[in-house]
Structure 1
Amino acid sequence: MTLHKEYTRKAKKTGNSIQATIPADIAKHLDIQEGDLVLYTINSDGEVMIKKQKTISEQMGVDEEFLSILEEGMAEYKEALEDLVER
């Protein structure tokens, strides 16, 4: 038997959008954390599906640890890299 749980949230206007929070249980289930992109899809039946958007590195199959090391190196040599761009 599948557990079925419903959540209710009040929608609020923010700029030109309508906003409602994601319940903590759902965010945890989808591994959504602050700063993540959330993908909303409307299927042919009109149902809305929500899931965590994959990062570009996940979509391309690039290792997150490699990107982290690359970012550290770029930060360490930022000034030297900027000088090269100016030449």
Structure 2
Amino acid sequence: MYCCLPILQRVYSYRLKFNLNQMEVTVNQQSYSVSENCSLQHMIDHVLVVPVNGIAIAVNQEIIVKSDWPSYVLKAGDQLTIIKATQGG
């Protein structure tokens, strides 16, 4: 079983129907429901499905270095900000 269930729907849809030990986290001001003990890496790979090249992630306004993503466990109510590097000037 994945540590983050790939429930890509908003928090309010299935959360009331099933007790899956879910918690709510916010990513760029959008709420997601994930299972407890979800790592930051798993959230990126299996829930958000975003490419990891050229992004930085802050949790509760603190940058998390990429090497810590696999071991960083999210907590209920965490606020994630994903920033993508762009070119241009």
Would you call these one fold, judging by a TM-score over 0.5?
no
Structure possessing the higher relative contact order (Cα contacts under 8 Å, 6 or more residues apart): 2
Instruction: Give TM-score scaled by structure 1 length.
Output: 0.31
Instruction: Give TM-score scaled by structure 2 length.
Output: 0.30
Q: Which structure's residues are more often strand, by fraction?
A: 2
Highest Rg: 1 or 2?
Answer: 1
Q: Which structure's residues are more often helix, by fraction?
A: 1
